[in-house]
Structure formats: structure tokens, C-alpha cells
Structure 1
Amino acid sequence: MITRPYVVGNWKMNGTRSMLAEARAIDRAAERLIKVEVALAPPATLVHACRKEATLIGIGAQDCHPADGGAHTGDISAAMLKDAGAGFIIVGHSERRADHGESDALVKRKAEAALAAGMTVIVCVGETAAERDAGKAQAIVSKQLEGSLPASDSPAEQITVAYEPVWAIGTGNTATPADVGAMHGHIRAELERIYGEGGAQVRILYGGSVKPDNAAELLAVENVGGALVGGASLTAESFLGIIVAAASDPDAE
């Protein structure tokens, strides 16, 4: 079982070159916090620059096109992102699913494209408030996992799942530790069903209004292998508060 926490900052559609100073500060601090694997996913325009400025942490991308190349104006392939310096790709974020109508099948193709390009992948899943209120949260997440994860013969150690309840993303609302524990336990069981023994090696991140003041409590929950952080990753000060909380987890190696 992987116990080193994985804390990933998703800058979303934020950031110009002026934010490279934040990436450098996070990188310098990560040198001291070796018990945590730290990564940033800046906008595609900053992937190359972040890779040059931050050499100790992981640098990834927020999305990719499933094709290797071709007539897809405005899109970026996994191979292009790798060439720019990305080592991982986030796919299936709820904002992509909602804003661009991405289906589970498309998310799966993107995930498999990232793996084929030699990168790791973070596959996002999560239910809406209406789905949770209707008692369908676990069923929705199971459906997303079944349809979005790379094929069962894929290398499980290169796959991370991020559970991000849609109702908690950018809202200030955070799932309770009990809710997080229940869903992460459910996801773990699904991963072991899909990947067999390899399912135990897939890290499961929690995302959804993670902040320095609630990170320690959330990261202490069983089957929580780290965090996918949005707004709180935009400054080194707030993001490092979360990384320090992860490094303080007694289960972290």
C-alpha cells in the first residue's frame, strides 16, 4: 500500500508568468518536506516554464485530447504536453465534464492516451449535491469509475483517482471526514474489483475546498492518499500549509 501522501495543486484557468514565483517557492519548500510528493498542474501555457523553474516537484497538465495529433484546432495532445515537461495529466474533472459535456468514455480515452504517452494520470470522479441528496452518491461514483478508468490491464501504479464531490468544489463546503471515509472506502473496493491486487496501489485523493485548516483532519481519514487542491494552491503560503499537514501525518513515510 502506498503511504506517501500525494498533494497536487490544480491552478485551473489561473496564472501568467508572474505566478512562476509561487511555483519556485513551493519547489524550494518541497525539498524540506520529503515525506510528501508534491505536484502542480498549471494552465498549459505555463507547463514548460513551470518545469524549468520548479525542478523538484511534479508538473502536470489539466487535460489532453485523446488523439496523438491531427486536425483538432485548439487542442493539445498528451505527447505535446509531455514534450513541454508534463509528467501527469488530470482527466475528467467535474468542470470539464460540466463545461464541455465530457462523457465517461471520453475521459477513459484521455486517460489511456496519457498512459500511452508515458505519463501518469489522475482520474476525477464525484457526485452533485442532488445526486447525494437522492442517495445515489456511491452509485454515481461507481458508474464514473467503471466508465472513466483505463482498461483493467493498465498499470495501476500509474493511476490516481481523485474524489471531488461537485458540491464541495470552490464552494467552501467540505465533506465531513465520515463522508470522505465512506466514499474512499467504496472507491477502494471498486478499484480492487477492477484492478485486482493492483487496486490497492492506486492512490485516492480528496478534493473539494481543501485548506490548511482542514487538511490534517481530511488527510488522516483511512484511504485518503493525498489531496487535489484548487484555489488554495494558487499561493505558496496556503498550499504549503496543506503540504505541511500532509507531512505531519503519522502514516506518511
Structure 2
Amino acid sequence: MNPLMSSASDPRQATTALSVNLNKVALLRNTRTLGIPSVTRAATLALEAGADGITVHPRPDERHIRPHDVFELAELLKQWPAAEFNIEGNPFHNLVDLARQVIARGLPLHQCTFVPDSVDQSTSDHGWRFPDDAERLAPLVAEVKALGVRVSLFMDPLPEAMAAVRALGADRVELYTETFARAHADGRATEVLPAFAATAQAALREGLGVNAGHDLNRDNLADFLRAVPGVQEVSIGHALVGDALELGLPETVRQYLQCVREGSR
């Protein structure tokens, strides 16, 4: 567990960690061959501004994060022992192999987030299904945990699925928050937040940690954290990088951290 998250024995009383997703930085870099903008420089700026971790989602088509980014970021994270490195992606594609390679090189990797996206998807759009996905996920969960890496499963807000997640051996769930973000933008957040709160409560009862991510932004983050108990980590990329074009990356990270503080009051 990230030392920045361990100040309270009860996760419901801990401060939510902010993990900055750098996919969109890599996406921009990949439109040229000059290495600009630098993914590792962006990570350094985010960490210097107070981010608690770095997230990447390397896809098989290498549209944004590429394998060398994973290794270079892991090397960078050696200089930030209080920060966490989270790699997310489909464990049936390239995720598990990258995790093996990172650990084999003696580099830090704290969490793998299993996401059920297809090769041609533009972005993640749903969580795992239980019991449908349980049998094929089980050996991969066990393998990654054997590497000493925490496993989080990307899940829709379904309280009834939390027991199955725990039975599978996962450590956390990441709540897929796009439905909340869309509802919040339309002024309907109160319609969907009860399901997220109930799912988080069910996860906590099962002994699972709770993460959240997808379309969280400066407008909705604090409201989400106020309503949903025990969120240990949010990973935010698209909106954060978009805001950074206007505000600069360090100031953007500071403003997201302020949203986290407001949501934790």
C-alpha cells in the first residue's frame, strides 16, 4: 500500500490518493518522432506537484503508452518511494506480460488494474461480469499477486458483485465512473450516486479496497468523494491532461488535490 494512504487503519478514514494517468501525454508525443512531450517529464512534474502515483494503460496497438514508457516510468518511480505505480489494461492482452517484465527487472510495480477492454475500443466502457469472467480471471489474479503486486478489478457499480470479486482473490475494485460523470454533467448525480455508495460499502464489508476512475474531473470529483465511502485512490487522465493545457500540469495537479481534500471533509 502507498505509505501516503496508510495513515489510518480504517480505509474509510484515509485520504484518497491521486494517481495521474499519462496516456494522453503519450498520445500527443506519438504524433511525432521527437519524444515531445516527454512522458517521464510529465510524471516528474505531477509527482513534484504532489500526485500520489502514476497510472498508465498500455494497449496492444501502442496508440499511447508503449512498453519502453512502462519501464522508464518504473525506473523513475524508484526515486519516489512514497508514490505508487499502477498499470491497467486487459490481462488477456499485454498487461500480465508487462507486469512480469517490470518485476523481473527489479522495478517497482504496486498495482495492476484489470480492465475488460477489447483491442479496438477507444476507451474502457464497462466492468467485469460475474460469474461469467471469474473462471478465466482466477489464474491471472493469482499470478499477478504472486509477483507481489496488488490486483484491482474494473467494475460497474454493482453491490452484489463484490463478494465474487473477493472470492476471486482480488485486493481492490476500481469503480467505473463514467455513468456518474455523465449524470453529474446533466444535474442528475443524485440518481446514480446511491449505487456507487452501496457498491463501495459492499466492497468494504468484503475487505476490498475501493478505487475509482473514468471521466472524473475538477467539477465532479469532490461530489463523488463526499458521497462514496472509503475511496482509497482515484486515477485521472483525460480531464487532468486537458486542464493542464490551460493551467499547466503542476497547477492542475494541485487543483485536483484540492478537490480531493474538499471531498474528504
Normalising TM by the smaller chain, what interval? 0.5 to 0.7
**Is the alpha carbon distance of 1:209 and 1:188 closer, same or farther for their aligned partners in structure 2, counting shifts above 3 Å?**
closer
TM-score scaled to structure 2, two decimals?
Answer: 0.63
**Is the alpha carbon distance of 1:182 and 1:171 closer, same or farther for their aligned partners in structure 2, counting shifts above 3 Å?**
closer
Report matched runs for 1:210-229 at 5 Å.
Answer: 210-225=216-231, 226-229=233-236
1:29 CA displacement:
1.5
Partner secondary structure for residue 76 of structure 1 = helix
Quote the residue 1:184 is aligned against.
196
Question: What amino acid is aligned across from residue 235 of structure 2 in structure 1?
Answer: L
1:53 CA displacement:
2.9
Question: What amino acid is aligned across from residue 50 of structure 1 in structure 2?
Answer: L
Q: Which runs of 5+ in 1 are unaligned?
A: 31-36, 67-71, 127-136
In the alignment, is residue 104 of structure 1 matched against residue 133 of structure 2? yes
Quote the residue 1:25 is aligned against.
45
Moved over 4 A (4+): 72-75, 96-103, 165-177, 248-251
1:124 CA displacement:
0.8
| Identity rate, percent | 12
Question: What amino acid is aligned across from residue 145 of structure 2 in structure 1?
Answer: L
Aligned residues: 215
Aligned equivalents of 2:18 and 2:94: distance in 1? 32
Quote the residue 2:15 is aligned against.
4
Report matched runs for 1:1-253 at 5 Å.
Answer: 1-2=10-11, 3-12=14-23, 15=26, 18-30=38-50, 38-42=52-56, 43=65, 44-54=67-77, 55-56=79-80, 57-63=83-89, 65=91, 76=97, 78-83=99-104, 84-93=107-116, 95-96=117-118, 99=121, 104-105=133-134, 106-126=136-156, 138=158, 142-143=160-161, 145-147=162-164, 149=165, 151=167, 154=169, 159-165=171-177, 167=179, 177-179=189-191, 181-191=193-203, 195=206, 199=207, 202-225=208-231, 226-234=233-241, 235=244, 236=249, 237-251=251-265
Partner secondary structure for residue 148 of structure 2 = coil
Question: What amino acid is aligned across from residue 238 of structure 1 in structure 2?
Answer: T
Q: Which runs of 5+ in 2 are unaligned?
A: 1-9, 30-34, 57-64
Q: CA RMSD in A?
A: 3.8
1:172 CA displacement:
9.1
TM-score scaled to structure 1, two decimals?
Answer: 0.66
Question: What amino acid is aligned across from residue 239 of structure 2 in structure 1?
Answer: A
Partner secondary structure for residue 220 of structure 1 = helix
